[in-house]
Amino acid sequence: MNMIEFKNVAKVYEDKTVALKNVNLTIKKGEFVFLVGPSGSGKSTIIKLLIREIAATSGSIFVAGRNISNLKFSRVPQLRRNIGSVFQDFKLLPNKTVFENIAFALEVIGKPSYMIKVQVPQVLKLVGLEHKLVSYPHQLSAGEQQRVSIARAFVNRPPILLADEPTGNLDPVNSDGIMKLLSRINLIGTTVAMATHDRSIVNSMRRRVIELEEGEVIRDQKRGVYGI
Amino acid sequence: MIFRPRYFFGETFTSLRRNFLMFFTAITTVAITLFIVGFFLIIIYDVQGVLASVKSQVEVAVYLKDNITVELKTYLENEIKGWNEVAEVIYVSKDAALEKFKTENAGSEILKEIQGNPLPASFEIRLKSPEKVDQIALRFVAKDGSYIEGVDEVIYGQNYVQKIFSITAIAGSIAFLIIIILLLAAVVLIFNTIRLSIHSRRKEIEVMKLVGATNWFVRIPFIFEGFFEGFVGRAISAVLLYFITNYLLIKGETALADTMHIKDLAILGSSNIMLYIYVGMVIIGSLLGVLSSAFALKRYVRI
Ligand SMILES: Nc1ncnc2c1ncn2[C@@H]1O[C@H](COP(=O)(O)OP(=O)(O)O)[C@@H](O)[C@H]1O
Ligand SMILES: [Mg+2]
């Protein structure tokens, strides 16, 4: 089953910057995919299109078989509840503890508190931070903060997890830990797409690689490496 | 979506704490604004009452010469009664005038000095439209500038009626303008409070959108905030207005009722005007709060 499908997708920003031209790709359920390419090649644009932060200029995008190209505004929250997203800058709330940060994500989608009390410790255990429940983000290392942000993205068990340069701010050791965590999440059956330009990570993982250049897919390779 | 009152109230009060100064300013503005609006409405209402009473009291007194013939008197009376503008004509004879003078000045020294009956007979003319008092008075003046035959003198409120009319009209427009400006100030302040509050919570809003919170979930705390500001503001203004009416304005109205016999007053009168003013303040206060937050949200929380 195709989890993500792009059909002839183009994206031109308001200032006429052409970010994507005629992109076609499919990602199957349970796959782990790297989106690689130099800075400005359109990786983040693909992620933003998938969570409908922006809309495609032309073409169609399917998520879990549903066309999201002309999704109504009121349907966007539902889409985002089925896609966990992780970013380079973590996007944690500084005045909330680890527990509260993750609980907040559940509260605002209307989860009852008895479920929150069960789900949050569970997901923190998955990312190995069950002992940091009451710490604030500034009391954690960058790697731990990224784990919290992954925990928040995954607490709801979404079928898709998108990560935009999740190791961009991390040293190799912490990056390695994050990659192990994403692999585990992928092993549970989650479809994972990760944008990166970290050569060594891509090369060590040997997963599917989709390479972009100036808004076009120039390579799509199973068990690929960063450059040819 | 499950409604989570604890979440919404919690978020509302967190943001109120953070923007306390702005919040305080917004509430004070609403309170003062609505208080002044209510205060003005009472004053305007009472001025209308006084004005109506003054208008109904405007009359033209036509004093007759002592030597006027009965025929001429009857002719004049019928003539005046035929005028459209006239509501009522009362003939006060010399004797009636003296009686009235005596009762009005009972016990006064002045009565001892009166010999015979120096008071003239007169027509007291009440008008349907008091604004026309000038025109009516002029009809008793002949072409050469003297009074017509049989008439000794004509007395009426002269310019003062006209002045009252123009002064109340101007005062009314100024009061209206002040009310509009105050309401606008309240809208701008609540709008700014909410905008600041949105700004201080932009990271939270970003995360909320990211994890799929609905638009309403993002907006409700801000709407609560606007509503709360409007609510507290108008509660304070109602208390203020209550004390002002019951300890200050009511004294003025009592004086008006005693001296001018005005019955239709905001507080003392039998109308429900005070109820309308309080209800109106609740409605305006709620609208101020909700409209300004809706306006701020429309501009700042696009999803
Ligand atoms: N909001 C935007 N407005 C205009 N141009 C943008 C915007 N976001 C990205 N771009 C441009 O689109 C192109 C692709 O950007 P992006 O998808 O962020 O690339 P990557 O993530 O691969 O570095 C770049 O040329 C970038 O400058
Ligand atoms: Mg990028």
SS3 of A161-178: EEEECCCCCCCHHHHHHH
What six digits make up the tokens of B41?
Answer: 């409405």
Rounded to the nearest 5 percent, the helix, strand and coil shares of chain B are 70, 10, 20
Nearest-angstrom CA–CA distance, B147 and A217? 107
Contacts A105 to B, Cβ<8 Å:
207, 211
What are the φ and ψ backbone dihedral angles of B139, each rounded to 5 degrees? -70, -15
Nearest-angstrom CA–CA distance, A16 and A103? 40
What is the distance of C-alpha B201 from the center of its chain? 43
Q: Is A84 in the pocket of ligand 1 (CB under 6 A)?
A: no
> Å from B210 to nearest chain A CA?
7
| Residue percentage of chain B with pLDDT more than 90 | 10
Q: What is the dihedral of CA A162, A168, A174, A179, to 10 degrees?
A: 30
Place of tokens 């509302």: B12
Pocket mutation for ligand 1, best pick of A14, A16, A18, A45 (most atoms within 8 Å of C-beta):
A45
What are the φ and ψ backbone dihedral angles of B142, each rounded to 5 degrees? -80, 175
* pTM metric for this prediction: 0.72
Which residue has the CA at smallest separation from atom 16 of ligand 1?
A42
Cβ distance B4 to A110 less than 8 Å, yes or no, reads yes
Pocket mutation for ligand 1, best pick of A16, A21, A44 (most atoms within 8 Å of C-beta):
A44
pLDDT digits (tens, 9 = 90+) for A14-48: 999 999 999 999 999 999 999 999 999 999 999 99
Nearest-angstrom CA–CA distance, A157 and A120? 12
Nearest-angstrom CA–CA distance, B121 and B118? 10
Q: Which of A79, A93, A108 sits opposite B217 (nearest CB)?
A: A108
- Any alpha helices (H) in chain A, and if so which ranges? 43-50, 76-81, 98-107, 113-126, 142-154, 172-187, 199-205
Q: What is the pLDDT of residue A57?
A: 96
Contacts B215 to A, Cβ<8 Å:
73-74, 77
Helix axes B273-300, B158-200, angle to 10 degrees: 40
The B residues from 201 to 220 touching A (CB cutoff 8 Å) are 203-204, 206-215, 217-218
pLDDT digits (tens, 9 = 90+) for A55-95: 999 999 999 999 998 899 889 999 999 999 999 999 999 98
Cβ distance A80 to B210 less than 8 Å, yes or no, reads yes
Decide: B175 and B167 in contact? Cβ < 8 Å: no
**ipTM for the assembly:** 0.89
> Å from A153 to nearest chain B CA?
7
Rounded to the nearest 5 percent, the helix, strand and coil shares of chain A are 35, 25, 35
**Is residue A188 very low, low, confident or very high in pLDDT (cuts 50, 70, 90)?**
very high
First to last CA, chain A: 29
